[in-house]
Amino acid sequence: MMNLLTPAQLVEKYTFLSRSAVYGACRDGLLSFYRIPSGHGKRGKYLINEADFLTWLESLHHVNGVEGDEPLSHIR
């Protein structure tokens, strides 16, 4: 089952992150998301699968300036 969270919920759960970083990753195509329309010309709500978020976060991991391969399983 998917655990869908809004950017605000992700930031609340992973306090080291900013909402603008999450929105930027979505905008840049680095983080997949669902966009639920809210009607009447509004932008709608972004929903992000937490597993997709953690995969994206893993892709940012660098060791000594080089991409690493150690998982961030301790933050789950």
Q: Along the 76 residues of the chain, how does pLDDT read in single tens digits?
A: 789 999 999 999 999 999 999 999 999 999 999 999 887 767 789 999 999 999 999 998 877 666 655 555 555 4
pLDDT score of 39: 76
- Determine contact, residues 22/14, Cβ cutoff 8 Å: no
Q: Tell me what pLDDT residue 53 has.
A: 96
Residue 67: C-alpha distances to residues 1, 32, 70 (Å): 30, 21, 9
